[in-house]
A and B are shown apart, each in its own frame.
Chain A
Amino acid sequence: MEISFRDLMTVFHGMGFGALFMLAFSAALAELYRMSAPGAPSIPSAREHNLLLFYLSIMVILAWGAVLSGAYIVYPWYRAAVPPGVTDLADYPKFLLTSNPKTSAWHSLGMEWKEHVAWLAPIAMTMVAYVFAKYGPALARQKEIRTAVIGFAVVAFVATGVAGAFGAFLNKYAPVRGGAMIEIIAGEQEGE
């Protein structure tokens, strides 16, 4: 079982950062609402507050990790220019997609939307984590701030969903491949 270096980096970007960040949302949104809504059944303890703050901080790291690894590791491979004389576009995903009218919108809509909208998520989640750190359970008395925190978090969730979904489709139609092959597990050849 082996994988190319670029495939591995794409997996780190998409699954290691992006998907984990996406998975973390449902719990974060539910906990933010539960702990800060007026009339919450109990005042969160300092331990619960610190745990959610730690959780939100990890989400912030995942969000920045996803966009930075995407922009500086995977995206340059995706948009690499085709050298003169090369006709096989398999290693040039952007040009592979745009060379065919049936796939060009995966780039013109999918990648161009994904590459920009994804940046809203780390900005929004950094604000959410800061505000929660600053106010904690006192958010229950700050209705407008709570509305903003949950509103921005929902938009970050949608932005991440758009980026993640298009990332998955793009990698299906024009995968970023190449680089050294990394053997993960040495397999056995089925013999006669």
Chain B
Amino acid sequence: MIMANIKPIRPDEIPNGPGAAAILAAGIGCAAMGIFALAGDAFASLNHFFTFYAPTGALSGVWTSAVIVWLVAWFVLSRRWAPKNVEMTKVLSVSFALLAVGVLLTFPPVMDLIQGR
């Protein structure tokens, strides 16, 4: 992980790694929500796959999958970054970019534009 361990940690300091892991994982989870929502909307086979609970339709699988991706990402990043200081500027840029992906891909006109509707 190129973002990790860039600064030594002072004895009285909480490393920024755990915070960075939570922030980046939240960005990944939000992006996953948008990507899965678009995929479920664009492909009938994925729409069927995401139907974990029939009364709720594909939304049930879209959110469940996004939450799993978010939690797995958080777990993995936390394990790697917990005792470290990481390069927060990069983490922040990537996290906000992923958040923007999540916001844009959940907006129906953008979904339709990508699908050429």
A interface residue count range (under 10 / 10 to 19 / 20 to 34 / 35 or more): 35 or more
Q: Does A112 contact B (CB under 8 A)?
A: yes
- A131:B62 contact, CB within 8 angstroms: no
Q: Does A67 contact B (CB under 8 A)?
A: yes
Q: Does A97 contact B (CB under 8 A)?
A: no
Residues of A within 8 A of B19 (CB): 131, 134-135, 142, 145, 148
Number of A-B contacts (CB under 8 A): 99
**Which secondary structure dominates chain A's binding surface?**
helix
Cross-interface CB contact of A108 among B34, B55, B108, cutoff 8 Å:
B108
B interface residue count range (under 10 / 10 to 19 / 20 to 34 / 35 or more): 35 or more
A-B pairs, 10 with minimum CB distance: A76-B55, A144-B88, A127-B26, A116-B106, A117-B106, A145-B19, A116-B37, A148-B23, A123-B29, A112-B108
B contacts, CB < 8 Å to A: 14, 16, 18-20, 22-23, 25-26, 29-30, 33-34, 37, 53, 55-57, 59-60, 62-63, 66-67, 70, 88-89, 91-92, 95-96, 99, 102-103, 106-109, 111
